[in-house]
Amino acid sequence: MTTNTQQIVIWDKYVRLFHWSVATLFLLDFWVLEGGDPPHNWVGYAIGFLLIGRILWGFIGSHNARFSSFFPTPTRLRQHLADMKAGKVDPHEGHNPVGALMIFFLLTLLSLIVLTGWMQRWDMFWGVEWVEETHEVLANIAMIAVVIHITAVVVMERKLGISLIRTMITGKRSL
């Protein structure tokens, strides 16, 4: 017996390419490459360019990619938490308001990491300790946020019965 399940598009190709590219590059820079070495710097620049593209895409991209579709207002947060409590989930939704808080947090952190890394290349900040320390602290906070993000995705997959990881890979969700 076969069942026909309807597939809906949640994430466009750019959002998925951005997500997996930044995730890979950040982990590579954090765990593998030596800070200050040219490969570390080039990966940081690549993340910066991807961030610029994603920010632009947040204004002109597909519906679920647009920041306006998931900006976490107090009203949206209250409604989402009430829906979660009632066991209701919109299967067409991309980022829910709580997830959006993490997305904006990660975008801000990554932007500040790229900025402080780039600042270390400027003559006026060359060897300035607070810039280097800020860069390292932000990277550590980002890694903690990544662990929280992954944990939340796994927990929400189990709670909601929706494959969030598969959706971020394929872009589609089964109804």
Q: pTM value?
A: 0.92
Supply the pLDDT for residue 13: 97
Report the b/e string of 78-87 with b at 16+ CB within 10 A: eebeeeeeee
**Tens digit of each residue's pLDDT (9 = 90 or more) over 77-101:** 999 999 988 888 888 889 999 999 9
Per cent of the chain over pLDDT 90 is 81
How confident is the model over 159-165, as a mean pLDDT?
A: 87
